[in-house]
Amino acid sequence: MPSTVREYQDAILKAKKEKGFAILAHTYQSPEIVEVADFTGDSFALSKKAMGITEKNVLMCGVRFMAETVKLLSPEKRVLLAAPDAGCPMAEQFVREEIEDYRADHPDVLVVCYVNTTTDLKRACDVCVTSASALDIMRKLPTDREILFIPDCNLGAYVQAAYPDRKITLWRGGCPVHAAISKEETVAAKAKHPTAKLLVHPECKPDVTALADYIGSTSGIMKYAAESDAKEFIIGTEISVVWHLSYRFPDTKFYPLSKNLVCRNMRLTSLPDVLAAVKGEGGEEIVLDEATMKEARVCIDKMIELG
């Protein structure tokens, strides 16, 4: 049995080749997992990557809704989640019946859901968005319809601020990691690093994003940092992004906005989990029935059409 990081990584690379696996790692995974992945990125980018690969087996190192999204876009592939307990509290905040009840009272509503939702919830939604595409897709939706934007009220508030004339209804959902960051912490971080640019994710609260130099998705934050001439950044998203940027740009300083920006669910995947899954001894295969997949695909297909 392997006993070091390097030995685990070597065993994973060997087994994934023998068993015909592609490994997807969300950007919030730790560096030792990113190193064995075929692709790294945000959840929807990974799902699109999986559509174009030849491997029949796909292992998602991330949380459950991400593995489900891969399955929805590539139903012919065998998709496994490396750490079966890894969920996303935000994705599970609402259930389909709540949307259906709202629709019954508001028959003209358009339901827009963040990709961070369960497959079952997606069945009740009209259009899906990512944090990178939300503003653009909103621009393409009919202006005379009420929008119910779920589940993240902070991302929803960011969208509302860009379209102040639109009727956008928000519910009280959100990411417990990003939403926990306070304005006071943010002011303190800026005071500690006065020349650093503050880059934050729109899942943070509006009084935090109001202080930012840039608001964007994780991939947007990484792109901004890569293209900027600045040499110091405060990163207002999951702390792993600080690690990845620090590796890529060793001459630039990256500070976490808060040491509490840690998603415990993203930390659940370990190298032993990955090895067990690619050897056929662990992980969980994502199984969705055809009718569910067909209904849940509607809002994703609409996103692809509009995006």
List residues near ligand SF4 by CB under 6 A.
Answer: 63, 88-90, 116, 175-177, 238, 263, 265-266
| Order of all β-strands in the sheet with 214-215 | 214-215, 197-200, 232-236, 253-256
Residue with tokens 């509290």: 89
CB closer to ligand SF4, 15 vs 236: 236
Q: How far is the CB of 207 from ligand SF4 (least distance, A)?
A: 19
Q: How far is the CB of 152 from ligand SF4 (least distance, A)?
A: 8
Q: How far is the CB of 139 from ligand SF4 (least distance, A)?
A: 24
Q: How far is the CB of 63 from ligand SF4 (least distance, A)?
A: 5
What value, to the nearest 5°, has the Cα angle with vertex 255 and ends 250 and 257?
Answer: 155
DSSP state of 118: -
CB closer to ligand SF4, 151 vs 283: 151
Q: How far is the CB of 68 from ligand SF4 (least distance, A)?
A: 13
What separation, in Å, do the N-terminal and C-terminal C-alpha atoms of the chain show? 46
CB closer to ligand SF4, 196 vs 266: 266
Number of Cβ within a 10 Å radius of residue 259: 8
Q: Where are the beta strands (DSSP E) in the chain?
A: 21-26, 39-41, 57-61, 78-81, 110-114, 127-129, 147-150, 168-170, 197-200, 214-215, 232-236, 253-256, 284-285
CB closer to ligand SF4, 15 vs 261: 261
CB closer to ligand SF4, 73 vs 263: 263
CA distance 197 to 245: 14
What value, to the nearest 5°, has the Cα angle with vertex 206 and ends 202 and 209?
Answer: 55
Residue with tokens 């509503």: 109
CB closer to ligand SF4, 176 vs 307: 176
Number of helices (H), then strands (E), belonging to the chain: the values are 14, 13
Q: What is the DSSP string of 204-215?
A: S-HHHHTT-SEE
Q: How far is the CB of 278 from ligand SF4 (least distance, A)?
A: 22
CB closer to ligand SF4, 91 vs 141: 91
Q: How far is the CB of 196 from ligand SF4 (least distance, A)?
A: 22
Q: How far is the CB of 4 from ligand SF4 (least distance, A)?
A: 28
CB closer to ligand SF4, 40 vs 265: 265
CB-CB contact of 197 with 161 (8 Å): no
CA distance 80 to 24: 10
